[in-house]
Structure 1
Amino acid sequence: MSGCKEESSEHYGNHRPRIPIVSGPDTSYVGMRVFFDITVFDPDGDRLVVFVAWGDGDTSDYGSFVPSGAMVTFEHAFLRSGTFGISARCYDSEPLYSDWSHPYEVVVLNPGQ
């Protein structure tokens, strides 16, 4: 297809990172700081930068490269109640990007609920 560019899973022998794994609590309260762990892996052993979409319109990134296999802890406070899907992706120095993780659902309650 002329003029179209597909995102490749390989770039000059470098492979895309694997989809990150998100773990953490499944409930929280409005305004409470909670911690989530994101585990990343690159099949070539490349160092990676981690990016998180919190599902509430806010995003975070870990500003420096971490080793493949690392678990990076992120902190976040949700400012409203609801159910939010946290997704993560990572990229290596090429940069080749992983796919987004499946949303990790967190139910955020109002204090006193």
Structure 2
Amino acid sequence: MRHAPWLLLLPLLTGCGNTPPEPPLMTGPTRLRPNDTLVLAVWSVDPDGDSLSYRIAWGDGAESDWSRWYSSGDRATFAHAYGDSGVFEAVTRARDHSVESADSDPLIIRVFDYGPNRPTPPRLASDTAVVGANIGAMTSAGHPLGERVSLQVDWGDTLGEWSEFVRAGEHILLRHSYEEPGRHLIRARARDTGDRLSAWSDSTLVTVVMPAPAR
């Protein structure tokens, strides 16, 4: 049985096709403030081992130019600043010298004027304090951007001093003494290095009593 000449060339022709690059991957911060610079790393693998170029659509209407050429698997970096608050979907694509990849999965970028998280309610060793004696309240506050925070306690009879700045999420012990008996609700708040304030924490009740009479 004789075949048409072009059928004999079919295996060679199909073996010469250029396979598109894999859809790229992205990594980088997903929370930032307006006008802060976001830097993302992007990479893909080309099944044929071709060099790759990348571009990103940032989700706010801006789109990068195609990057320079990178070896398959090497990372490219892109920088961008969002001028407004909002939630954006960044999508990237790769190309070799003749064909483009499919779009990457979107990377969700949340852009807001982030401040400290609401602190944990102040924790006391005892819900009873004695007039004139120091008591300690333990509290902590996280931060969406991992920034350092300072904490302050409202003791019910006075507003305490701000603590030193500590790592986000680090527990800190603040102390106070009462001059009069009574019942007080203690609460805490946090600030970051940009003086952004958190909401007040839930309150903890403390009962202040007179010292026991000497015998």
Q: TM-score range by the shorter chain?
A: 0.7 to 0.9
Aligned residue type for 1:69: G
**Which structure carries more strand by proportion?**
1
Aligned to 1:105: 108
TM-score, structure 1 normalization: 0.83
Asked if residue 21 in structure 1 is aligned to residue 62 in structure 2, the reply is: no
Distance 2:67 2:40 in 1: 16
**Which structure carries more helix by proportion?**
2
Q: Which runs of 5+ in 2 are unaligned?
A: 1-13, 116-195, 197-215
Change (3 A) 1:84 1:22: same
Moved over 6 A (4+): none
RMSD value, Cα: 1.9
Tell me if structure 1 keeps the 8 A contact 2:32–2:114. Answer: no
- Paired-residue identity, %: 34
Tell me if structure 1 keeps the 8 A contact 2:91–2:106. Answer: yes
Aligned to 1:44: 48
How many pairs are equivalent?
Answer: 103
Distance 2:45 2:55 in 1: 14
Give the stretch that moved more between structures: 103-112 or 39-48.
Answer: 103-112
Q: Secondary structure at the match of 1:14?
A: coil
Q: Which runs of 5+ in 1 are unaligned?
A: 1-9
Tell me if structure 2 keeps the 8 A contact 1:28–1:34. Answer: yes
Aligned to 1:6: none
Residue 63 (structure 1) shift: 3.2
TM-score, structure 2 normalization: 0.45
* 1:20-45 deviations in Å (ceiling 9; x for gaps): 00111110110000111101210100
Residue 102 (structure 1) shift: 1.1
Tell me if structure 2 keeps the 8 A contact 1:30–1:111. Answer: no
